[in-house]
Amino acid sequence: MIKYFFCFVFMCCFFTIVNAQNCTYTFKGKVTDFHDSTPIAGASLHILNSNIYTTSDFDGKFEFKNLCEGKIVVEIKHISCDTKRVTINVNKNIYKEILLEHHTNELNEIIVKTNSKTEKTSVEQLVKKNVINNFTDKSLGDALNTISGVSSLNTGNTIVKPMIHGLHSSRLLIINNNVRMFDQEWGGEHAPNIDINSSGRIAVIKGANTLKYGSDAIGGLILIKPEKYAIKDSIFGSTITSFNTNGLGGNINSEIVKTYKSGYYAKMQANYKQFGDFNAPNYNLTNSGLRNINTSFRTGYNSYEKGFSAYYSYVNNEIAILQSSHIGNVNDLVKAINNKTPRVVEDLSYDINFPKQKIVHHLAKLEAYKRFKDLGKLSVQYDFQINRRREFDLRRGDLKNTPVIDLRLFTNSIQTDLEINYLKGFKINTGLLFRYQQNDAVAGTGTSPLIPDYNKYDAGIYTVANYTLNETSEISAGIRYDFSKIDAKKRYNLSDWNEKYNYNELFPEFEVSVNNTRILINPKFTFHNISASLGFSKSFLDDITLLANYGLASRVPNPSELFSDGLHHSAARIETGLLTINKEIANKFVASLEKSNANFGFTISPYYKHINGFVQLIPTGITTTIRGAFPVWEYNQINAQIFGLDLDVNKKISKYFNYIGNLSLLKGTNLSEEIPLIHMPSINFANTISYKNEDFNQLTIGLNERTVLQQNQFPDYNFTTFNAISQEDVFLDISSTPPTYTVFNFNSSMIFKAFKKGSLKLEFNIDNLFNVSYRENLNRLRYFANELGRNFNIKLKINY
């Protein structure tokens, strides 16, 4: 079916004064192809509200004679284009070249191609809308977990932070609707503030094609993209409701889309999610529920030649954190580890008590693009984000309802991207970025802020070129330069500043004033970053493609790595950053051999990363405070390497049965000390067998198995501490990893015709089918409680 694509024409405005009626003007012109300026013959031109017609000749030329002075509207039609109108002010003889977008079908093909990949040479994997729908009541991290090589760092089961090849936080860029997310992403227990329901599809780029978005994608890039709509008059929408027995809660999400033939569109989406306390197989996880309200709004205008879009999203998350995870000192941690069950187990409740996180994130953007003949497409975008993060802990007295952490981060940026694509087989993307950020450690928490007030300025410039060598191979190369400046205000204990860190000798220029035992400092840091990428792709027969990527990435230390200094309540540890921490530089190689075929397909993707100055947070000892002993975790820099292999296989067994499997292998090494890296995902694999019968209401039944092996490669940071109550040395085992586990999940769905045009999808799923008790190494609360037990889930999706 031919889509309703319009052929656009440059609009020109002539501002002259009309004097008298004069019918002697001529309007000559030429109709040409927008792409290559070849003449278009046989286009019909009609002056509206008249019976004057003409047709373009073999050279694309046309002529109107004896036109009167005034405004005329010319309608131009051609067989492979949709009708377009041009307004002309006639006040002299006019010559005008009219450009038509001729390749409507080709354009469709381009869109199909970009749907599957951002760049041809990119090593990436995609989460499609139907998978996103399966995770409507879960989080972005849970959905990404289905991809090989992607895991997550969890805090309980509701705070899920994606990890690519063992790297997370500041080493992953998350791009939401072309806006880079800034939501205090440095924190291990800070999940991305994204409503998964607002996204159309999600691409995970493991390779090096990330320069457009930043220089610091050492781990990779997560690209959340909106849907594309056909240009026609239509209104449609969907509503998903979900109910779960574990946590006795669920989710309702509705979206409605209106599109117009003129190219305008608008979408509204809203989502409400609530869960009570979840439960592990043998006990309730007291204080583990959540409440989310999210909404997004998108509007814009799309045509081949120009367009704009505006997007706004609001995310409001209130997340309870397992009450038993609140601990006072090392002895409490020892007790928790030895007890095997959480210390507080109460009946299910929907209350969100302390400790908890309350986060509000606003994101808005405005983007416009225009294509220029013989050049390419220029896009300009402005975006801003406001993130307010409040973390509440168990506190005494008047401070009960006062957060221990209260941070407000304001980010805004303007960026341009010019895509030069008029040269055949050669495409260049180049752009500029300016960003300003302000972090405000909101006063009134009654604690020293973990992260200080700071201003950050960034500027970047990049160029990426793609060249098609021949029909089967393509190369790409890019380079990017970034400048950043951090200007912060912070207080230290005078004794720490002078004696512990020796900063009075290292950074005397930062000192501002001394007040009793405290010193106010004003650190200023400037960084210059160079990053680069190289990519190659070659296609062979039988749908086989080989991809190879090299990337040089560098990352500026984040505020927590530089400035952390004090008790991190939710982690019950003292975290210390260092002003001496410098940038991290990574060389990464990724290759991928892919066969994309529904009958039998696979992806084998080995990778190797070498990271110079890898910043890690590790336990270094114990400090004695009035609360007793606390573990001290310090940031330090080492050289690291991470290598591994991601494997995906799909095989059609018979007409109805299908198999999908994936395997992730990874090994991370601290090269400086020749020990394993901390918090690396272990070997894991998943197998899914599914049955689908298209003729019987698209009945789908699937069984999924996921196994995570015990991580035997871990650094030993265990220590002993003296327990004054029992008067003995106590061994604190914070490093040993939980045993191997296997979890089975069951899913089924059917689609029914409903109403005139709509459909109704009914799903029934069981998570953790055999109610297995297990703990996950990459869950920060693994010392305190088991993971979730069995859950029955019902989902109802109505399309209308």
The yes or no reply on residue 447 touching other proteins (CB under 8 A) is: yes
Neighbours of 343 (CB within 10 A): 16
| SS3 track for 458-504 | EEEEEEEEEEECCCCEEEEEEEEEEEEEEEEEEEEEHHHHHHHCCHH
The yes or no reply on residue 347 touching other proteins (CB under 8 A) is: no
Task: Write phi, then psi, for 107 (nearest 5 degrees).
Answer: -60, -40
- The amino acid at residue 725 is I
Q: Which stretch binds other proteins (CB under 8 A): 179-187, 257-265, 443-451, 645-653?
A: 443-451
Task: Please tell me the distance from the alpha carbon of residue 29 to that of residue 8, in angstroms, as a whole number.
Answer: 16
The yes or no reply on residue 710 touching other proteins (CB under 8 A) is: no
Instruction: Evaluate whether 688 touches 702 at the Cβ level (below 8 Å).
Output: yes
From candidates 230, 344, 649, 675, binder to other proteins by CB under 8 A: 344
The yes or no reply on residue 446 touching other proteins (CB under 8 A) is: yes
The yes or no reply on residue 627 touching other proteins (CB under 8 A) is: yes
From candidates 163, 223, 315, 327, binder to other proteins by CB under 8 A: 327
Sequence-ordered list of residues with C-beta below 8 angstroms from that of 9, at least 6 positions apart, any chain: 76, 84, 86, 98, 99, 100
Task: Please tell me the distance from the alpha carbon of residue 708 to that of residue 741, in angstroms, as a whole number.
Answer: 6
From candidates 105, 517, 526, 736, binder to other proteins by CB under 8 A: 517
Size of the site for other proteins (CB under 8 A): 67
Task: Please tell me the distance from the alpha carbon of residue 464 to that of residue 481, in angstroms, as a whole number.
Answer: 12
Instruction: Evaluate whether 479 touches 452 at the Cβ level (below 8 Å).
Output: no
Q: Which residues pair with 729 in a beta bridge?
A: 722
The yes or no reply on residue 394 touching other proteins (CB under 8 A) is: yes
Decide the pairing of beta strands 684-693 and 518-521. Answer: unpaired
From candidates 272, 297, 422, 436, binder to other proteins by CB under 8 A: 436
Residues numbered 12-41 forming contacts with other proteins, rule: CB under 8 A: 13
Closest approach, Cβ 58 to other proteins, in A, equals 32
From candidates 87, 625, 735, 736, binder to other proteins by CB under 8 A: 625
Q: In 3D, which of 346, 554, 374 has the Cα closest to residue 460?
A: 554
Task: Please tell me the distance from the alpha carbon of residue 424 to that of residue 35, in angstroms, as a whole number.
Answer: 10
Q: In 3D, which of 751, 750, 774, 759 has the Cα closest to residue 702?
A: 750
The yes or no reply on residue 287 touching other proteins (CB under 8 A) is: no
From candidates 77, 358, 489, 651, binder to other proteins by CB under 8 A: 489
Closest approach, Cβ 566 to other proteins, in A, equals 6
The yes or no reply on residue 508 touching other proteins (CB under 8 A) is: no
Q: In 3D, which of 42, 52, 40 has the Cα closest to residue 98?
A: 40
Q: Which stretch binds other proteins (CB under 8 A): 83-91, 130-138, 395-403, 772-780?
A: 395-403
Burial degree of 402 (CB within 10 A; 0-12, 13-18, 19+): middle
Sequence-ordered list of residues with C-beta below 8 angstroms from that of 233, at least 6 positions apart, any chain: 259, 260, 261
CA 333 → CA 324, 618, 731, distances in Å? 10, 17, 11
Instruction: Evaluate whether 289 touches 245 at the Cβ level (below 8 Å).
Output: no
The yes or no reply on residue 144 touching other proteins (CB under 8 A) is: no
Task: Write phi, then psi, for 385 (nearest 5 degrees).
Answer: -140, 140
- Closest CB to other proteins among 553 and 567? 567
Give the residue carrying structure tokens 């073999």: 58
Task: Please tell me the distance from the alpha carbon of residue 211 to that of residue 207, in angstroms, as a whole number.
Answer: 11
For residue 279, what is the DSSP state? B
The yes or no reply on residue 502 touching other proteins (CB under 8 A) is: no
The yes or no reply on residue 727 touching other proteins (CB under 8 A) is: yes
The yes or no reply on residue 124 touching other proteins (CB under 8 A) is: no
From candidates 243, 272, 308, 527, binder to other proteins by CB under 8 A: 308
- Closest CB to other proteins among 7 and 330? 330
Burial degree of 476 (CB within 10 A; 0-12, 13-18, 19+): buried
The yes or no reply on residue 443 touching other proteins (CB under 8 A) is: yes
Sequence-ordered list of residues with C-beta below 8 angstroms from that of 258, at least 6 positions apart, any chain: 234, 235, 265, 266, 267
Closest approach, Cβ 371 to other proteins, in A, equals 10
The yes or no reply on residue 491 touching other proteins (CB under 8 A) is: yes
Residues numbered 552-591 forming contacts with other proteins, rule: CB under 8 A: 565-567, 574, 576
Give the strand order in the sheet containing 81-90. 52-55, 44-47, 70-78, 81-90
- Closest CB to other proteins among 506 and 512? 512
Residues 406-425: x where in contact with other proteins by CB under 8 A, - otherwise, as a string: ----x-xxx-----------
Closest approach, Cβ 484 to other proteins, in A, equals 15
Q: Which stretch binds other proteins (CB under 8 A): 22-30, 516-524, 700-708, 767-775?
A: 516-524
CA 115 → CA 129, 196, 202, 535, distances in Å? 12, 18, 11, 19
Residues numbered 769-788 forming contacts with other proteins, rule: CB under 8 A: none
Closest approach, Cβ 267 to other proteins, in A, equals 20
Q: Which stretch binds other proteins (CB under 8 A): 230-238, 554-562, 625-633, 685-693?
A: 625-633
- Closest CB to other proteins among 512 and 530? 512
Q: In 3D, which of 420, 418, 474, 382 has the Cα closest to residue 117?
A: 474
From candidates 57, 75, 97, 453, binder to other proteins by CB under 8 A: 453
Closest approach, Cβ 74 to other proteins, in A, equals 19
The SS3 of residue 12 is coil
The yes or no reply on residue 455 touching other proteins (CB under 8 A) is: yes
The SS3 of residue 560 is helix
Instruction: Evaluate whether 336 touches 783 at the Cβ level (below 8 Å).
Output: yes
Q: Which stretch binds other proteins (CB under 8 A): 218-226, 378-386, 476-484, 633-641?
A: 378-386
The yes or no reply on residue 384 touching other proteins (CB under 8 A) is: yes
Q: Which stretch binds other proteins (CB under 8 A): 50-58, 84-92, 424-432, 444-452?
A: 444-452
Q: Which stretch binds other proteins (CB under 8 A): 153-161, 259-267, 492-500, 743-751?
A: 492-500
The yes or no reply on residue 401 touching other proteins (CB under 8 A) is: no
The yes or no reply on residue 440 touching other proteins (CB under 8 A) is: yes
From candidates 624, 693, 718, 773, binder to other proteins by CB under 8 A: 624
The yes or no reply on residue 438 touching other proteins (CB under 8 A) is: yes
Alpha carbon 137 to its chain centroid, in Å, reads: 18
The yes or no reply on residue 543 touching other proteins (CB under 8 A) is: no
DSSP 668-712: EEETTTTEEPSS----EEEEEEEEEETTTTTEEEEEEEEEE----
The yes or no reply on residue 11 touching other proteins (CB under 8 A) is: yes
The yes or no reply on residue 448 touching other proteins (CB under 8 A) is: yes
The yes or no reply on residue 303 touching other proteins (CB under 8 A) is: no
The yes or no reply on residue 520 touching other proteins (CB under 8 A) is: yes
Residues of the shown chain interacting with other proteins in the complex, contacts defined by CB under 8 A: 11, 13, 306, 308, 326-329, 331-332, 335, 343-344, 366, 368, 370, 380-382, 384, 394-397, 399, 410, 412-414, 434, 436, 438, 440-441, 443, 445-449, 452-453, 455, 489, 491, 493, 495-496, 517-518, 520, 565-567, 574, 576, 623-628, 630, 724-727
